[in-house]
């Protein structure tokens, strides 16, 4: 039977399109709740879009433990080989607005919520193993330069390269961005990386620094600059379409999950800081160790309810998985829940896609607020004190895992010569594949040709420090595309 139409209050409405008025063609009546209520609701349909990662696609799936890593991590969802946990993943581009093209040259977000028996674990990753910054104070500056000019409201090559050449610790990430990996062919055909170092411990209290890699079982497929540009006009939603249709026809994508680990001793002796988000851990020194696999196999029933309202945060974690002292990660622990309170409201964890499945959310001092829909813990007292005993779970965590000491001082982590070592390695990696070094130079040149000459010169110089051939190739093509007036 077809559903019966009602107003938002549940009252049956005889005709959805009969507006109340004086006579057949006279003015409307304010008493027409069906009309007034539906216009007022329509006026409020939009919530703020995410300030970054606004355009995205999401799906549910299942994670399964394939290999025992209980020597590294005591989290309950990892305690048995074969154990399964429901997940929800949202992929995204970073800089564009909600309607922007899926094929934009941009990192891709890769955020996964694990609905574990110890609460929700969010692994909020990107498709690149590093990032542009290693000091969080730069994030708003950096993001502004990738978005629109405050006056022209246009993307601006001067702003873009002015920032990046002034903050050259970003050169490693900029190279990945301008390689063909900066334009993935689909969300299914790209990897996910923690980027940051995390700190995982086992139930004995031993701990390791950890980096996580989700390697695509579909393989990596990328677009070249021209294919990506063409698709942004002909099918700007190509990645959403690809993901939704593949899952709908039973061809859900999967990723195999690995960790790299370091003991605290190894970290002290590493040639880079493990808290430096612009550095990878070389595979040969820190080999990948497999622990799981997840497959996305269920499309959301409603995009707004489940994908737009999904709220991920690196601070949503479970016992035995902790953040490291990476300052960018530490700042992210604050920023995400803060933006959720603004974007979705203070009770964002009550929205079904964000709600833990444990049935055990019990923090009786956090009550009330807009859109309290979970019963609000009924008559239970809204404070903790002796008269109302509760239990605390005991974890066997070492209390002196990391001991920090030092004067409180401002520290400016400036770019240095060492920041060019790994970019040089990456340039060699690109040289293993046909045309990849040439594509890198071309992809940069077609972008930087729109910048002013003095900014272009800084770009040639920066990439020349990675490899003089790269600097020269960018310069040659840029000057062909935007000849200088003598
Ligand atoms: P390896 O030779 O062991 O690994 C190189 C890695 O580069 C590959 O495993 C692959 O990572 C990645 N890669 C392959 N093709 C491309 C491409 N076109 N664009 C970007 N990345 C690509 O060397 P190292 O581990 O010593 O790393 C060398 C350089 O490779 C690093 O400086 C870094 O720039 C880059 N890299 C390293 C990663 C790491 O975790 N060590 C991860 C990704 C890149 P994958 O298997 O993850 O696809
Ligand atoms: C989204 C802040 C760095 C991955 C966001 C959002 C904010 C934010 C405010 C919007 C969240 C929302 O509205 O729901 C920051 C800050 C950073 C930082 C302040 C650095 C100081 C990073 C890094 C990564 C990352 C290094 C990856 C390793 C993501 C992802 C999303 C996101 C995947 C989208 C989540 C989703 O799909 O809803 N970030 N970010 N961010 N960020 Fe970051």
90 ligand 2 Cβ < 6 A: yes
Q: Closest ligand 1 atom to the C-alpha of 211?
A: 40
d(CA 4, CA 25): 28
Collapsed DSSP state (helix, strand, coil) of residue 337 = helix
**What is the distance in A from the centroid of ligand 1 to the CA of 183?**
16
**What is the distance in A from the centroid of ligand 2 to the CA of 332?**
7
Q: Which ligand is nearest to the CA of 420?
A: 1
Q: Which ligand is nearest to the CA of 59?
A: 2
- List the one residue out of 263, 123, 136 whose CA is nearest residue 207: 263
174 ligand 1 Cβ < 6 A: no
109 ligand 2 Cβ < 6 A: yes
Longest dimension (CA), the chain: 86
**What is the distance in A from the centroid of ligand 1 to the CA of 436?**
13
Indicate the top mutation candidate among 177, 190, 222, 283 to test ligand 1's pocket, ranked by most ligand atoms within 8 A of CB: 283
CB 142 within 8 A of CB 136: no
Q: What is the 3-state secondary structure (H, E, C) of 142-185?
A: HHHHHCECCCCCCECHHHHHHHHHHCHHHHHHHHHHHCHHHCEC
Angle (CA) 409-413-417 rounded to 5° is 145
Residue 139: φ, ψ to 5°: -55, -50
Q: Which ligand is nearest to the CA of 55?
A: 2
**What is the distance in A from the centroid of ligand 1 to the CA of 30?**
65
In CATH, what number does 56-140+174-354 get? 2.40.180.10
Q: Closest ligand 2 atom to the C-alpha of 194?
A: 28
195 ligand 1 Cβ < 6 A: no
Collapsed DSSP state (helix, strand, coil) of residue 328 = helix
d(CA 150, CA 456): 22
Please identify every residue annotated as catalytic.
53, 126
Residue 179 CB burial class (10 angstroms; 0-12, 13-18, ≥19): buried
Indicate the top mutation candidate among 50, 130, 326 to test ligand 2's pocket, ranked by most ligand atoms within 8 A of CB: 50
pTM: 0.98
Nearest CA to ligand 1 atom 5: 429
CB 354 within 8 A of CB 308: no
Q: Which ligand is nearest to the CA of 177?
A: 1
Q: Closest ligand 2 atom to the C-alpha of 328?
A: 21
Nearest CA to ligand 2 atom 39: 52
Tens digits of residue pLDDT in 233-277: 999 999 999 999 999 999 999 999 999 999 999 999 999 999 999
Collapsed DSSP state (helix, strand, coil) of residue 483 = coil
Indicate the top mutation candidate among 133, 137, 335, 353 to test ligand 2's pocket, ranked by most ligand atoms within 8 A of CB: 335
ipTM > 0.90, yes or no: yes
124 ligand 2 Cβ < 6 A: yes
Q: What is the pLDDT along the chain (486 residues), one digit of tens a residue?
A: 999 999 999 999 999 999 999 999 999 999 999 999 999 999 999 999 999 999 999 999 999 999 999 999 999 999 999 999 999 999 999 999 999 999 999 999 999 999 999 999 999 999 999 999 999 999 999 999 999 999 999 999 999 999 999 999 999 999 999 999 999 999 999 999 999 999 999 998 899 999 999 999 999 999 999 999 999 999 999 999 999 999 999 999 999 999 999 999 999 999 999 999 999 999 999 999 999 999 999 999 999 999 999 999 999 999 999 999 999 999 999 999 999 999 999 999 999 999 999 888 999 999 999 999 999 999 999 999 999 888 888 876 666 778 899 999 999 999 999 999 999 999 999 999 999 999 999 999 999 999 999 999 999 999 999 999 999 999 999 999 999 976
Q: Looking at residue 395, what is its pLDDT? A: 77
Residue with token string 């209520």: 37
**What is the distance in A from the centroid of ligand 1 to the CA of 425?**
9
> Is 303 annotated as belonging to a binding site?
no
125 ligand 2 Cβ < 6 A: yes
CB 319 within 8 A of CB 272: no
CB atoms within 10 A of CB 341: 14
DSSP state of 50: P
CB 314 within 8 A of CB 337: no
CB atoms within 10 A of CB 194: 21
Q: Looking at residue 155, what is its pLDDT? A: 97
Q: How far lies 178's CA from each of 127, 129, 172, 224, 446, in Å?
A: 14, 14, 10, 10, 10
Domain boundaries, the chain: 56-140+174-354, 420-481
Residue 301: φ, ψ to 5°: -80, -30
Nearest CA to ligand 2 atom 40: 332
**What is the distance in A from the centroid of ligand 1 to the CA of 255?**
17
Reading the block at residue 477, the tokens are 């093509």
Nearest CA to ligand 1 atom 4: 283
The secondary element (H helix, E strand) that includes residue 291 is strand 289-298
51 ligand 2 Cβ < 6 A: yes
Nearest CA to ligand 2 atom 15: 332
Nearest CA to ligand 1 atom 37: 280
312 ligand 2 Cβ < 6 A: yes
Reading the block at residue 322, the tokens are 């902790």
Reading the block at residue 105, the tokens are 């040259």
Collapsed DSSP state (helix, strand, coil) of residue 126 = strand
Q: Which ligand is nearest to the CA of 306?
A: 2
Collapsed DSSP state (helix, strand, coil) of residue 62 = strand
Q: Looking at residue 398, what is its pLDDT? A: 65
Q: What share of the chain is helix, strand, coil (3-state, %, to 5)?
A: 35, 15, 50
Spatial neighbors of 185 by CB under 8 A, at least 6 apart, are 221, 222, 223
252 ligand 1 Cβ < 6 A: no
- List the one residue out of 251, 257, 353 whose CA is nearest residue 309: 353
């Amino acid at each position: 039977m077809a559903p019966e139409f009602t107003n938002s209050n549940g009252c049956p409405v005889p005709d959805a399109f009969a507006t109340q008025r004086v006579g057949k063609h006279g003015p409307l009546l304010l008493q027409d709740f069906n009309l007034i209520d539906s216009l007022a609701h329509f006026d409020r349909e939009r919530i703020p879009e995410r300030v970054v990662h606004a355009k995205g696609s999401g799906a549910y799936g299942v994670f399964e433990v394939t290999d025992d890593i209980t020597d590294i991590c005591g989290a309950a969802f990892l305690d048995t080989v074969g154990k399964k946990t429901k997940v929800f993943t949202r992929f995204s581009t970073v800089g564009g607005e909600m309607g922007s093209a899926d094929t934009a040259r941009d990192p891709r977000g890769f955020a996964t919520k694990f609905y574990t028996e110890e609460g929700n674990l969010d692994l909020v990753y990107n498709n690149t193993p590093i990032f542009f910054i290693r000091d969080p104070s730069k994030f708003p500056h950096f993001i502004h330069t990738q978005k629109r000019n405050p006056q022209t409201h246009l993307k601006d090559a001067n702003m873009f390269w002015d920032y990046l050449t002034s903050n050259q610790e970003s050169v490693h990430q900029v190279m990945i961005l301008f390689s063909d990996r900066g334009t993935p062919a689909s969300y299914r055909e790209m990897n996910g990386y923690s980027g940051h170092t995390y700190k995982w411990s086992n139930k004995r209290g031993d701990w390791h620094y950890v980096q996580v890699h989700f390697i695509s079982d579909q393989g990596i497929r990328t677009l070249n600059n021209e294919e990506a540009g063409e698709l942004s006009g002909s099918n700007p939603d190509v990645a959403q379409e690809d993901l939704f249709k593949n899952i709908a026809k039973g061809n859900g994508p999967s990723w195999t999950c690995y960790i790299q680990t370091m003991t605290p001793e190894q970290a002290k002796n590493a040639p880079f800081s493990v808290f430096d988000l612009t550095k990878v851990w070389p595979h040969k020194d820190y080999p990948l160790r497999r622990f799981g696999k997840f497959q996305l196999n269920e499309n959301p029933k409603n995009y707004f309810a489940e994908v737009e309202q999904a709220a991920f945060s690196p601070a949503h974690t479970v016992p035995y998985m902790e953040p490291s002292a990476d300052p960018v990660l530490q700042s992210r622990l604050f920023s995400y829940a803060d933006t959720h309170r603004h974007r979705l409201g203070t009770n964002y964890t009550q929205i079904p896609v964000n709600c833990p499945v444990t049935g055990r959310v019990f923090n009786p001092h956090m009550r009330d607020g807009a859109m309290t829909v979970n019963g609000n813990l009924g008559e239970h007292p809204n404070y903790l004190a002796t008269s109302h005993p509760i239990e605390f779970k005991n974890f066997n965590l070492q209390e002196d895992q990391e001991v920090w000491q030092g004067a409180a001082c401002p520290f400016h982590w400036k770019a240095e010569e060492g920041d060019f070592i790994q970019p040089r390695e990456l340039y060699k990696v690109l040289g293993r594949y046909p045309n990849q070094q040439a594509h890198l130079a071309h992809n940069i040149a077609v972008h930087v040709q729109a910048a002013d000459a003095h900014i272009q010169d800084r770009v040639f110089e920066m990439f020349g420090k990675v490899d003089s051939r790269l600097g020269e190739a960018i310069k040659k093509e840029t000057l062909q595309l935007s000849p200088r007036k003598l």
